[in-house]
Amino acid sequence: MEFAKQAQTGHKGAMTSQDKTTQSQKDSDTSGERIAKRIARAGICSRREAEQRIQEGRVSVNGEVISSPALNVTAQDKIMIDGKRLPQADISRLWRYHKPRGLIVSAKDEKGRETIFDKLPETLPRVISVGRLDYDSEGLLLLTNDGALARHLELPSTGWSRRYKVRVQGRVNEETLESLKNGITIDGVRYGEIEASLETQMTSNAWVQISIKEGKNREVRRIMEHLGHPVSRLIRLSYGPFQLGRLEKGQVEEVKQAVLIEQLGGAESKSAKAGIDSPPPRHAKKPQRKSGASKSAAKNQRKPVLKLAKSGAGKGKKAPVGRGKPRTKPSRKG
- What does the alpha-carbon distance between residue 54 and residue 66 come to, in Å, rounded to a whole number? 6
Measured in degrees and rounded to the nearest 5, phi and psi for residue 127 equal -130, 160
- What does the alpha-carbon distance between residue 321 and residue 255 come to, in Å, rounded to a whole number? 8
> Pairing between strand 231-239 and 162-169?
antiparallel
- What does the alpha-carbon distance between residue 36 and residue 81 come to, in Å, rounded to a whole number? 11
Which of 141, 334, 118, 169 minimizes the C-alpha distance to 235?
141
How many Cα neighbours within 13 Å face the side chain of 192?
11
Single out the catalytic residue among 90, 134, 136, 277.
134
Please list, in sequence order, all residues whose beta carbon lies within 8 angstroms of the beta carbon of residue 137, skipping any fewer than 6 positions away: 99, 101, 234, 235, 236
Which of 41, 57, 40 minimizes the C-alpha distance to 49?
40
Please list, in sequence order, all residues whose beta carbon lies within 8 angstroms of the beta carbon of residue 308, skipping any fewer than 6 positions away: 1, 3, 260, 261, 264, 265, 266, 267, 268, 269
Is residue 22 helix, strand or coil? helix
Please list, in sequence order, all residues whose beta carbon lies within 8 angstroms of the beta carbon of residue 126, skipping any fewer than 6 positions away: 43, 44, 145
- What does the alpha-carbon distance between residue 232 and residue 118 come to, in Å, rounded to a whole number? 25
- What does the alpha-carbon distance between residue 93 and residue 253 come to, in Å, rounded to a whole number? 11
Give the count of beta carbons closer than 10 Å to the beta carbon of residue 329.
7
Which of 264, 249, 246 minimizes the C-alpha distance to 133?
249
Q: Are 65 and 59 in contact (CB under 8 A)?
A: yes
Is 134 part of the annotated catalytic residue set? yes
Amino acid in the structure at residue 332: R
Q: Which positions are catalytic? A: 134
